[in-house]
Amino acid sequence: MTATGLVVIDKEAGWTSHDVVARCRRLFGQRRVGHAGTLDPDATGVLLVGLGRATRLMRFLTALPKTYVAEIVLGTATSTLDASGEVVGEWDMSAVTPAEVQAAAAKLTGSIEQTPPMVSAVKVGGRRLHELARQGIEVDRPVRRVSVYRFDVEPVPARPGVYRAEVVCSSGTYIRVLAEDIGTALGGGGHVGSLRRTRIGSFGESDMRPLDLVTTDAILTPAQAMRDLSFVTVEPEIADLIGRGLALDRVPIGAVGDGPWAMLDQRGNLLAVYEATGTDRIKPAVVVTGT
């Protein structure tokens, strides 16, 4: 039987997110595999991988807040904004104090604008930026507005100019750009020395498994995969309407808040995810049952 659900991978350095997906296709013997939230090849940590019908739910996981732990290295800028790139600038930033770094981080907290780096997976004109960068091509990139909910920095003992950062942010935030921006704000440059994603929504390090230890018992159900959404458990007659992909009146079924809502049957199985419409009706975004 084809596996359906979610696995929480602890991605190791050197693997692309696509590599992990390809490995999971072989592990679980199916083509229908996708992930929520790309991690850079050198980054480690939480990567959410959907299997079977659960791949259609990945966009709800991609939208969840993310937590990263990074090392920010001041005084050196690189071509990739991380340790894998070539050095493109050096500054003496030994006089910079921890208080100044913390003040710079505070100014990068809240709703901010970022320009995706050329080494990112963002598409411009149908081409991924990192593909263009490998050809030596640089293009204009649209500025994005992202949210940095928390940006804590502290110096790393016995490593001058190196700071440990913990960042909680919205989807689409580039930690390497934050490192560059801090360096620039302090009169020099900076890059990310190491990066680990420790959490996506409620999925943290305690949920993860290294890829070589992932087996079928690691698969979370579609309902468990949607545990960060509001749950609504419905009666059988409503479940039938959901299976037919019909809109519903939110009040009778108890859909409280702004959504989206994970719609469950009486046994706790995920039937669908519904979204608000701006009225008292809610509509199906993804119907899982019967597909």
- Which residues does the annotation mark as catalytic? 40
Amino acid at 109: T
The region that residue 5 occupies, defined by phi over 0 for left and psi between -120 and 50 for alpha, beta otherwise, is left
- The token pair at 41 is 């090849």
CA dist 172 and 14 (Å) reads 21
* Three-state SS annotation for the chain: CCCCEEEEEEECCCCCHHHHHHHHHHHHCCCCEEEECCCCCCCEEEEEEEEHHHHHHHHHHHCCCEEEEEEEEECEEECCCECCCCEEEECCCCCCCHHHHHHHHHHCCEEEEECCCCCCCCEECCEEHHHHHHCCCCCCCCCEEEEEEEEEEEECCCCCCEEEEEEEECCCCCHHHHHHHHHHHCCCCEEEEEEEEEEECCEEHHHCEEHHHCCHHHCECHHHHCCCCEEEECCHHHHHHHHCCCCEEHHHHCCCCCCCEEEECCCCCEEEEEEECCCCEEEEEEECCCC
**Amino acid (one-letter) located at 102:** Q
